[in-house]
Amino acid sequence: MTVRQVLLRKGGAVYAVSPQATVLEALKRMAEHDVGALLVMEGDRLSGIFSERDYARKLVLLGRFSKDTRVEEVMTREVITIAPETSLAEAMRLMTEKRVRHLPVVEGEQVVGVISIGDVVKAIITEQEMVIEELSRYISENR
């Protein structure tokens, strides 16, 4: 199974925020869409990612205020991305190795979606359930 297949199932919605937005605005948008991260976009260009981890580690622990801090001040600038044709196994390996929970999916220069660790786990479980069901059917038909 590939990342593209996951995006086809879940949809390619991309929730983003401007680098100039306040952290409070970003947190409201994350809550509105029930997501743990937003892409930081300048027009069509991906310039970073802002996650709950960025909020906790770069704002709360430093005693800064979300209404007075811009997203660009605390976002993760070095964004790890993947291509739609990437396998789920590779996506999971990358997430584990780099300790990230969200990967923007980029085709050419364009962001086409985002997958989370939850999306990957759900897809892998679904795929394994289908394999188990097929094997069970095969075994019972060939007894």
Question: Domain count of the chain?
Answer: 1
Residue 105: Cβ within 10 Å count: 23
Provide the domain limits for residue 113: 3-141
Structure tokens at 48: 């970073």
Q: What angle do CA 61, 92, 121 make, to 5 degrees?
A: 90
Residue 86: is its pLDDT beyond 90? yes
Residue 143: is its pLDDT beyond 80? no
Confidence at residue 61, expressed as pLDDT on a 0 to 100 scale: 80
| Burial 4-17, CB ≥16 within 10 A → b, else e | bebbeebeeeebbb
Residue 87: is its pLDDT beyond 90? yes
Question: Measured between alpha carbons, how far is 113 from 42 in angstroms, rounded to an integer?
Answer: 16
Residue 96: Cβ within 10 Å count: 10
Q: What are the tens digits of pLDDT across the range 9-34?
A: 888 789 999 999 999 999 999 999 99
Amino acid at the residue 38: L
Q: What are the tens digits of pLDDT across the range 38-59?
A: 999 999 899 999 999 999 888 8
Residue 135: is its pLDDT beyond 90? no
- Helix or strand (DSSP H, E) at 17: strand 16-17
Give the model's confidence band at 63: pLDDT under 50 very low, under 70 low, under 90 confident, else very high: confident
Q: What are the tens digits of pLDDT across the range 92-107?
A: 999 999 999 999 999 9
Q: Roughly what angle, to the nearest 10 degrees, separates helices 88-98 and 3-10?
A: 90
Residue 2: is its pLDDT beyond 80? yes
CATH no. for residue 69? 3.10.580.10
Question: Measured between alpha carbons, how far is 60 from 52 in angstroms, rounded to an integer?
Answer: 11
